[in-house]
Structure 1
Amino acid sequence: MLLINNTTVEPYFNQAVEEYLLNNVADDIVMIWQNQNAIIVGKHQNTLAEINFDFVNQNNIKVVRRLSGGGTVFHDLGNINFTFIKKYEGQNPKIDFKKFLNPVVQMLHKYGINAMFSGKNDLLINGKKISGNAEHIFHRQKKILHHGTLLFSSNLDFLRKSLSDNSAFYTDKAVKSIRSSVCNISDYLSENTGVEHFKNEMIEYFKNLYPTIKTYNFTESDRTMIKQIAGDKYSQWQWNYGYSPKYTFQKKIETEMGNVEILFDVEKGNISNVKIFLSFLPDAEIQNLNFALIGIEHKPEAIKNAINKLQLSNLKNIEFLNWFY
């Protein structure tokens, strides 16, 4: 078994790390790591339905889709992530969250934290969530990937605002996140312990738990290949947003100029079946607007470019992008 203390905090890189380790390292792995401000979306989720789009963009929070299913989580430097990658034998491995979470719970108990299992994949303190987890079986590699979060001293205000429920505008069959009350582990510690100290304690705990574990540091070759995966996949809009299951977007707004009604479908990131009505535009311009949006990607730059090319007089100097999110 290998122990990796991944000190890189770049979200695209760190999602690529897990894919690289799954495909290129034969040993079982425990990895401790952190991200700068980021939202990590489950593989089968509709990204736009899970995030507060305006807040995320205003605060330069990166949004990344991961390899596993489950719900959306928020990462920052007050949060510690752990990843287990383990080979399995036999033909029918089963998802077993407790198997991987037991060592984490035991470590928290060592600190006097009364962490408890809840539902299928959460850890709670006093009824509030401190850890969300996801797990996936990769049959081709015959490996199980388990990863989870530990809210230690996270910015909970940012967390709540980033993950504001936006699903009312979206109709889809995507996996939905379950919103929970959250808290920080640090609030329940008797001593003033920083996140870096707690992270190092986790690393030492796993060294003692698995006496034969070996520390592994990424080589330059590892980093080059991981950066390639990050650049080709995890930093790309098509993976992080365009991979979302087919959805319908519908929104009605009352503006100073009049009523706005937006309706369209999106599949593989591209807009179709557009039905937009603006009470302050002539019918001919509305028809041109509907036609101009067909086939473009559901992202701000594409929408803005398509509408600006039409030179619709009543939309000059109007912030119209929020109509589409």
Structure 2
Amino acid sequence: MIFIENEGITNPRLNLALEEYALRNFDSSTNYLLFYINEPSIIIGRNQNTIQEINQDYVDANHIHVVRRVSGGGAVYHDLGNLNFSFITNHDGKSISNFKKFTDPVIRVLNNMGVTAQLKGRNDIQVDDKKISGTAQFSTGRRMISHGTLLFDTDMNEVVKALQVKASKIESKGHKSVRSRVANISEFLKTPLAMEDFKKQLLTGLYEESEPFETYRLTEDEWKAVHQLKAEKYDLWDWNFGRSPKFNIQRNKRFAIGEIDMRIYVEKGHISELKIYGDFFGEKPVSDIEKLLEGVAYDKVKISKSLENISISDYFGNITKPEFLELVTELD
């Protein structure tokens, strides 16, 4: 595995562009590890409705970046006290949704540091019942990213102020507030550590069972390509916020795999527009389903017929087609 040096960049748009560029362009026979730290920012999951996830007034007043990532899952707050890790590997058909495979090495290092971490729920690393990390994944078909946060010394008050976490999500976790369910790794260390020392210990620990690792530094031309990707994607309002669709029907439900929120515009008995939001994890883009159902009669039988060759779990994770159909077509 090769460690990618990000040259101390803290701009979230540039770091996410670097991560995607490495995924799509680096040697496909090699596994890579990337660390990055972002200045205050909210990183939105691929399928989320940005406006509903952030406290817009607070974000604007405090100049907090809002950037959408390529992976699914929920919105997270980053600052200089949060370390992000990203494993970039081949997609072997078994690793998507296998969060344990990629969190186990991190958990092992944390345990060796005296932090009794473990994987709980879908994708969280916790100490006791406190979340210290959330992870997500994305696949191009041949290659994949499995990345996550490590709350080391994050300002938790900012997390609460910047994000608008839905009550249904908090309740599903068995907590009364965001602040009661998250914690910093630094709170569990017997000996205080600076972020840079924590980063070095984590890196060393991740490689201690492997061959000596090498560090890769991008060429000038590669950095130009990363900056171009940033300008053409991660700097754009359309990518980070997106157009809010008109709708006259809304369907929303929280499943074990996360929330699915549908905005449906029905004209003359047919679906003329459909947008699917949520913090679910799926291997395929939900835009496939949105396009497939446009023009279809808003009728359970007709919708079911349109989806007969679709594997719903490929798009949302472990839910059934009947569950999905019930959500789309249930009457008020």
Q: TM-score, normalised by structure 1?
A: 0.69
Query: Which residues in structure 2 correspond to 1:60-209 (within 5 Å)?
Result: 60-89=63-92, 94-139=96-141, 142-165=142-165, 180=178, 181-209=181-209
Deviation, 1:92, is 6.3
Please show how residues 280-319 of structure 1 align to structure 2 within 5 Å.
none
Question: Is the alpha carbon distance of 1:78 and 1:94 closer, same or farther for their aligned partners in structure 2, counting shifts above 3 Å?
Answer: closer
1:19 corresponding residue in structure 2: 20
The one-letter amino acid of 1:204's match is T
Q: Which residue of structure 2 lines up, in the alignment, with residue 227 of structure 1?
A: 227
Residue aligned with 2:5, SS: strand
SS of equivalent residue, structure 2 residue 23: helix
- Unaligned ranges ≥5, structure 1: 169-176, 251-264, 268-325
| 8 A Cα contact 2:48 2:74, kept in partner | yes
Q: Is the 8 A contact 2:106 2:206 kept in 1?
A: no
Cα distance in 1, alignment partners of residues 118 and 94 from structure 2:
28
CA 120–20 in structure 1, closer or farther in 2 if over 3 Å, else same? same
Residues 128-169 of structure 1, C-alpha deviations (whole Å, 9 max, x = no match):
100010012221xx112100000000000001111123799x
Question: 2:46 — aligned with what?
Answer: 43
Shift of 1:247: 6.3
- Cα pair 1:74 1:159 within 8 Å, conserved: yes
Deviation string, structure 1 residues 29-78 (Cα, Å, up to 9, x no partner) = 11111100010000000001111111111100000000011111111110
Max radius of gyration: which structure? 1
Once residues 194 and 244 of structure 1 are traced to their aligned partners in structure 2, the CA distance between those partners, rounded to angstroms, is: 42
How far apart in 2 are the matches of 1:246 and 1:197?
Answer: 50
Aligned length: 242
SS where residue 3 of structure 1 aligns? strand
The letter for the 2-side match of 1:164 is Q
Q: Evaluate the alpha carbon distance shift between residue 266 and residue 163 of structure 1 in structure 2; reply closer, same or farther with a 3 A threshold.
A: farther
Corresponding residue of 2:270: none
Residue 213 of structure 1: how far off its partner (Å): 3.0
Please give the root-mean-square deviation of Cα atoms over the aligned residues, in Å: 2.6
Provide the rounded CA distance (Å) in 1 between the counterparts of 2:161 and 2:249.
Answer: 21
Question: Is the CA contact 1:34–1:77 (under 8 Å) kept in the aligned structure 2?
Answer: yes
Give the percent of matched residue pairs that are identical in Structure 1 and Structure 2.
38
Q: Which whole-Å CA distance do the structure 2 matches of 1:245 and 1:125 have between them?
A: 40
Q: Helix, strand or coil: the match of 1:191?
A: coil
Alpha-carbon distance in 1 for matches of 2:246, 2:25: 32
State the Cα deviation string for residues 203-244 of structure 1 (Å, max 9, x = none).
222332321532111221121111111011101101000166
Equivalent position of 2:9 in the other structure: 8
- Matched residues in 1 for 2:23 and 2:207: separation? 21
Task: Map 1:237-276; keep pairs closer than 5 Å.
Answer: 237-242=237-242
Between the aligned partners of 1:157 and 1:240, the Cα distance in structure 2 is: 24
Measured in 2, the distance between the counterparts of 1:63 and 1:196 equals: 25
TM-score by length of 2: 0.68
Q: Secondary structure at the match of 1:209?
A: coil
